[in-house]
Amino acid sequence: MRVVSPEQQSVWTQLLVASFPILIIIAVFMFFMRQMQGGGGGRGGPMSFGKSKAKLLGEDQITTTFADVAGVEEAKEDVQELVEFLRDPGRFQKLGGQNTPGVC
């Protein structure tokens, strides 16, 4: 009767076999992270809901005038509320309003 010892794998083969599942998990994780960020293609994605699509306009690009909103009651009320805030900001701060510099 002959005893046959099992064939030993090289260190590199053992390392490759041991690290393969970890590499697969990292690849899947990176794939999902790219998908959540929109993939870099500018198509939005599920995490784009917090990004503002507002654009800064120059004075020459503004086409709405006071005459356009003259009959709108909401615009009048907003302007009146703004004037009241500028006259007495303490009243609004008691209700929780904040005067943030640079924000209209």
pLDDT at 51 over 80: no
CA–CA gap between residue 61 and residue 82 (Å, rounded): 24
If we measure between CA atoms, which residue out of 76, 73, 98, 72 comes closest to residue 85? Answer: 98
Q: What is the average pLDDT score of the chain?
A: 78
SS3 content of the chain, % helix, strand, coil (to 5): 50, 0, 50
pLDDT, tens only, 85-98: 888 888 777 777 66
